[in-house]
Structure 1
Amino acid sequence: MSETGSPVRILAPFDSSLQSQQERFEKVKTLIHSDSASASAQLAGEVAELIQERQKEGKPFVLGLATGSTPVLFYRELIRLHQEEGLSFSNVITFNLDEYYGLSPDHPESYFRFMRDQLFDHVDIPADQINIPDGTVPMEEVYDHCLEYERKIDEVGGLDMQILGIGRTGHIGFNEPGSSEDSRTRMITLDRVTRQDAAADFMGLTNVPRSAITMGVGTILKAKSLVLMAWGASKSEIVQQAVEGPRIDQVSASFLQGHEHAVFLVDEAAAGHLTRFRYPWLVGPVAWDGQMKKRAVVWLSQKLEKPILKLIDEDYNESGTGELLASTSEAAYEVNIDIFNRVQHTITGWPGGKPGADDTNRPERAEPFPKRVLVFSPEPADAFIGMGGTLDRLKEQGHTVQLVFQTSGNLRVSDVASLNFARVLLEMAEATHVSGWENQREYAESILSALEEKGEFGIDPEMVRKLKGLIVRGEARDAATVCRLDNEDTQFLDLPFYEKGRYRRFVLGTEDDELVADVLRSFQPDIVFATGASSDPSSIQALSFRAFSNAWRSLGDEPWNSRCHVWLYGGRDGDIEAHEIEMAVPMSPDQLEEKVEATRKFMSTSDEVFNTSARNQMIAALYDSLGMAEYEAIEAFRRWNP
């Protein structure tokens, strides 16, 4: 195990006797890297060494592979090692974990196609050494096909290494909750959460296959070594359950605890719920600064379901936080008052600062007023989901607000929305007996033809993606109007990484950074709101935030930069942790309803479940439980310090 950035070898044997006191709740080797890129690069380097060792011995290296966004950076590094350093895959035999049932190999969302795009087409691995379950096998032949897949693995001597990701349900491969430890390759029905997570790839939940063929847990555990990778805050809770919880079939990844050569390789965000990071006072001494005290007291209040001001000395001593009182020589009452005030001071109805007020204990400074506020929304709906009520309030209070949609969002638009538009346009052209409608007729017919030609799951041609982007653009403007923003208050960047890519295939470039930098340089904001800092590194939100952070750092010498505050808002993959909230903006029932109304404007992406009201009401309920005033809903923010 390691602290962040440690050079400890990923594939080194695990010796539990070397665990530190801070790691004692972890039941499997767990390595934390500062980011997914460094972790992926180190793993690829170690895998390359093993491949080359086997080449010298004249033996094959049998590698089990995973799909999804998690291993993409690992595959890109393997490709780089092949193209730039001569790593050969001629002796590598691969077995993929799974495949959707019913998808042909050339389907754009099949895992066969994914592996070709992400790895196989870029290295020198022989085609007959690639093994992936066949999603087109007739139903009556699936059982025999699965037995044959197991036989092939055994025939080559078993898997030398298996690469894994982890789903939100805790699955490895497609071993959904309930999969037994000794299960083998088989067909399985996909959990609804798993299908929801894949909905964007398939242009809607209804298009996601309901079944898949997957290696079993027992098949996976037979591999000589296992590496499970996880990135982003959205994976932190399930990583904690798999690493520190019991071995149960409801979390198939937990079975890795029983494997002698298994390792969880995670970034800081995905490690966030491990005890040594989330509750460090339970595993050793800590420095009780203001932030750590707030974290511990908020946790204690939630754990005991008692308001902060009602906590007593015994509560601290009996719950593992007695050291806080001992180290500060303060009684519980004094600590409670301090933390109660800290939490209370995060609450403000003036997210842009209250002019002329004493801002000593306010989240945002009073001056200048009005402020120039720049809001970045990775996908068009993101800003409304995370801070729709705050957008409305900033505008109402007289600030100059510019809402920047970083990507067009066209990949989330269903074909139905495009079909409806084209059909209406065609009917108008046919019903209008005035010259000049020929172009509209031709355009509508070309859209209808393109949609029919690509089929249900094909890749949208450029003209269709452009139309879908315009549909979302109209919805985004309607949503902005609900939040008091005019058309001139919105801007669409259409960042190239998104327009040129697809889900799990995005590559951020310098042109993306430069477009964001141009916006910052031109607007010169006093406040910036952004999201995506802790998201899955390959997600649209994380890539959009990286474009912002790259641009921000490139403009560090600009006079306005040092005066500008950057606030992070909660994204699609979750809200800000209770102890991290530094600004809490309450909403009335009417304001919450207006926010919900804004998100409803995104009708072309109707499969998405924003659930904005429940999320904001949960934050309000949290503040209420801590002893704060009772609000209908709250939007939460934290400061970003680059």
Structure 2
Amino acid sequence: MNHTIESQQRERVRIHVHDTADEASRALAREIAVLVRDRAAAGRAAVIGLATGSTPVRLYRELVRMHREEGLSFKNVVTFNLDEYHGIPRAHAESYWRFMHEQLFDHIDIPPAAVHIPDGTVPRAAVFDWCRDYERQIKEAGGIDLQILGIGRTGHIGFNEPGSGADSRTRLVTLDSMTRRDAARDFLGEANVPRHAITMGVGTILDARRIVLLAWGGAKARVIADAAEKPPSETLPASFLQQHPDATFLVDRAAASELTRVRLPWLVGHVGWSPSLSRRAVAWLSRHVKKPVLKLLDDDYTEHGMADLLTEQGPAYMLNIRIFNELQHTITGWPGGKPGADDTHRPERAAPHPKRVLVLSPEPSDDVLGMGGTIRRLVEQGHHVTIASQTSGNLGVPDDEAATLADFMIELDDSGPRETGGGSGAALARLIKQQLDSKSAFDGDPPELRRFKGVLRRGEERAALRSCGVSTENIHFLDLPFYEQGRYRQFRAGGADVDTMVALLRKLEPHQIFATGDSEDPSSVPAICFDVLRQALARTRDDGWRRDCRVWLYRSPARDWDIAGIDMAVPMSPMELSAKIQSIRHHKSQRGQQTGEAWQQAGHHDQTVARAYDEFGLANYEAIEPFRQWKE
């Protein structure tokens, strides 16, 4: 436990917070390089446990760079991977064997015999003996010197789902439903995600001499805080790392955002009460004691560690009114600004009107999921609204959806007048059917099939946005190269992506930009798309139009935001929420592809925001779409 640092007194494991995932990955890569070189100098092997998934990708890229540019050799390294899906071959696009070779092993000089990865093809009856042998190989190698981990939203490490004990060993496990939902996008549907995996046990992991857990993005923030601050429990396997004498969490700022020292710093030490921190504290207190803010008493503040806030900004009555007014001023039915109105206390400027508005959607459907009601409102209020899907989203289309569209096109052609002959569309559909019929479950899509799936998603996006009132000529598809030339967990944006974004910004010269992806996992499509926007904004910083442009962040549909961090809240009536859900339903190919809540509970998160405003003592709306203003 970190008793030596006041602000970290609730953390039962060491946590190092880095500004970015890249910075944290470089720090761990340097530690690994020291270990490898020290062992080589002593004539010994360095035994390293490795993880898969998007989290360690940046680490592996840095190790590859160090091998190529700094001469870091891996000839004396022995590796043991944490886990593998059971029942899929090594050639499967989502097998961890393939992932590790594509991300790391094919690019360094590690001896093939030194690589150990659980074998997902072992027959069920032989798995128990195979797992015992894996444990034996680890011991014969001298044990693991450094074990690298990621963490799942259920708190799993490896595939040790809730219920895994601290003494569990390498074994076959059944995957949790949330874990399978989180993998649904990679497998083009939850139904295709394997139900079982082979994983090192918690006890096997704890045997390592040193453990480093990596976590990026706001989606991991809650589970990181729980794993670090709650007592060890089988319901949260990562919490057992608290019992290890040399375990460290390396996280970026987004993943650290739920730690007590970040979210509720007044509970663990003296703080300087900035306006934003005061607002956050009062909002938290209102929720914690279950009182509307205007009913909070001096005793409520003093009993919950905020006596100094009262001393500086009290009494409670005056502080309550100030914070109440601040949050009330975030609510607006005019997301583009109300023309001719006093905008002193409004989140958006009244002028100019109408505004040129650009809404960026990382993949088609992100826009209507996150702000479909606000898009409709902006159009109805006369603004020039342009929607730009940054990627085609073709990787998110299941084969059976493409087959259904191809069958429709072929039958439409066959049922037409004989004298018309077969059109080019029908010829393409027949080619697509041939490719689908000859494609195995783990083959990548040929270029024609990817383009066909992209066309399918374009059609869905146009239909969804037309239902929001957006005209077809104002719907753009950027098809950023990083996405078209890559696949999930292997995306790398480059200059061509930024050039495309710069060209669009300079063409439209928007007064408002709505975007999402800030604080997401940096390997995710939304985060990469937001980084492309950020670089484009840096390139255009001196353009004249930038002086009048504001950037608003809309929320990922699967994430809840704290009411205190909202800068603009756009309310929706029951009819408007229903209209938003109808717009989302046009994205039929994504039904079951979105991670759990995003599709199934499209309006739930907006209603959660509305309830938070209601409980705070503000107006009671059916739903609210929240936004934050982004500043460079």
Checking the alignment, whether the CA contact within 8 Å between 1:165 and 1:229 is kept in structure 2 is: yes
Checking the alignment, whether the CA contact within 8 Å between 1:535 and 1:573 is kept in structure 2 is: no
**2:328 is aligned with 1:344:** yes
- Secondary structure of 1:184's counterpart equals coil
Matches within 5 A, 1:424-503: 424-432=408-416, 433-437=418-422, 439-503=424-488
**2:602 is aligned with 1:617:** no
Report the AA paired with residue 526 of structure 2.
Q
Matches within 5 A, 1:240-255: 240-255=225-240
Among 341, 349, 367, which residue is 1:365 paired with? 349
- Give the number of equivalent residue pairs: 626
Measure, in 2, the Cα distance between the counterparts of 1:481 and 1:97: 47
- Which residue does the alignment assign to 1:171? 156
Measure, in 1, the Cα distance between the counterparts of 2:419 and 2:80: 62
Q: Quote how far apart the aligned CAs of 1:285 are.
A: 1.5
Checking the alignment, whether the CA contact within 8 Å between 2:233 and 2:239 is kept in structure 1 is: yes
Q: Quote how far apart the aligned CAs of 1:423 are.
A: 1.4
Among 600, 607, 611, which residue is 2:585 paired with? 600
With 426-435 and 461-470 compared, the bigger mean Cα shift is at 426-435
Q: CA-atom RMSD, angstroms?
A: 1.0
Checking the alignment, whether the CA contact within 8 Å between 1:516 and 1:548 is kept in structure 2 is: yes
Q: Quote how far apart the aligned CAs of 1:438 are.
A: 5.5
With 133-142 and 451-460 compared, the bigger mean Cα shift is at 451-460
- Which residue does the alignment assign to 2:287? 302
- Secondary structure of 1:560's counterpart equals helix
1:100-136 deviation digits (Å, cap 9, x = unpaired): 0001111111000000110000001111110001001
Measure, in 1, the Cα distance between the counterparts of 2:546 and 2:437: 50
Measure, in 2, the Cα distance between the counterparts of 1:388 and 1:281: 37
- Which residue does the alignment assign to 1:99? 84
1:404-449 deviation digits (Å, cap 9, x = unpaired): 1001111111111111111122223333312441644432221111
**2:626 is aligned with 1:626:** no
- Gap change, CA 1:601 and 1:480, over 3 Å in 2: same
Matches within 5 A, 1:514-525: 514-525=499-510
Measure, in 1, the Cα distance between the counterparts of 2:415 and 2:511: 52
**4+ long deviations beyond 4 Å:** none
**2:144 is aligned with 1:159:** yes
Measure, in 2, the Cα distance between the counterparts of 1:441 and 1:358: 57
Checking the alignment, whether the CA contact within 8 Å between 1:575 and 1:636 is kept in structure 2 is: no
Measure, in 2, the Cα distance between the counterparts of 1:133 and 1:231: 25
Among 185, 189, 199, which residue is 2:170 paired with? 185
Measure, in 2, the Cα distance between the counterparts of 1:439 and 1:277: 58
TM-score for both structures, normalised by structure 2: 0.98
Report the AA paired with residue 334 of structure 1.
M
- Which residue does the alignment assign to 2:629? 639
Measure, in 2, the Cα distance between the counterparts of 1:572 and 1:462: 30
Report the AA paired with residue 606 of structure 2.
N
- Which residue does the alignment assign to 2:540? 555
Checking the alignment, whether the CA contact within 8 Å between 1:569 and 1:575 is kept in structure 2 is: no
Q: Quote how far apart the aligned CAs of 1:287 are.
A: 1.5
- Which residue does the alignment assign to 2:256? 271
Matches within 5 A, 1:119-138: 119-138=104-123
- Which residue does the alignment assign to 2:400? 416
Measure, in 2, the Cα distance between the counterparts of 1:290 and 1:85: 47
Q: Quote how far apart the aligned CAs of 1:590 are.
A: 0.5
* Unpaired segments ≥5 residues, structure 1: 1-14
1:297-351 deviation digits (Å, cap 9, x = unpaired): 00000001100000000000111112100123x2100000000000100000000
Report the AA paired with residue 209 of structure 1.
P
- Which residue does the alignment assign to 2:315? 331
- Secondary structure of 1:545's counterpart equals helix
- Gap change, CA 1:333 and 1:537, over 3 Å in 2: same
1:9-59 deviation digits (Å, cap 9, x = unpaired): xxxxxx845x31001000000000000001101110110111011111111
Among 362, 369, 377, which residue is 1:385 paired with? 369
With 79-88 and 605-614 compared, the bigger mean Cα shift is at 605-614
Checking the alignment, whether the CA contact within 8 Å between 2:2 and 2:8 is kept in structure 1 is: no
1:249-285 deviation digits (Å, cap 9, x = unpaired): 1111000101011000000000000001000111111
Checking the alignment, whether the CA contact within 8 Å between 2:91 and 2:442 is kept in structure 1 is: no
- Which residue does the alignment assign to 1:44? 29
- Which residue does the alignment assign to 1:9? none
Measure, in 2, the Cα distance between the counterparts of 1:612 and 1:421: 25
Measure, in 2, the Cα distance between the counterparts of 1:632 and 1:442: 48
**2:264 is aligned with 1:282:** no
- Which residue does the alignment assign to 1:6? none
TM-score for both structures, normalised by structure 1: 0.96
Measure, in 1, the Cα distance between the counterparts of 2:378 and 2:503: 23
- Secondary structure of 1:612's counterpart equals coil
**2:126 is aligned with 1:141:** yes
Report the AA paired with residue 630 of structure 1.
N
Report the AA paired with residue 32 of structure 2.
V
- Which residue does the alignment assign to 1:201? 186
Checking the alignment, whether the CA contact within 8 Å between 2:557 and 2:605 is kept in structure 1 is: no
Measure, in 2, the Cα distance between the counterparts of 1:429 and 1:363: 53
**2:241 is aligned with 1:256:** yes
Among 354, 361, 370, which residue is 2:338 paired with? 354
Measure, in 2, the Cα distance between the counterparts of 1:26 and 1:59: 35
Measure, in 2, the Cα distance between the counterparts of 1:68 and 1:404: 29
Measure, in 2, the Cα distance between the counterparts of 1:411 and 1:577: 32
Report the AA paired with residue 352 of structure 1.
G
With 445-454 and 403-412 compared, the bigger mean Cα shift is at 445-454
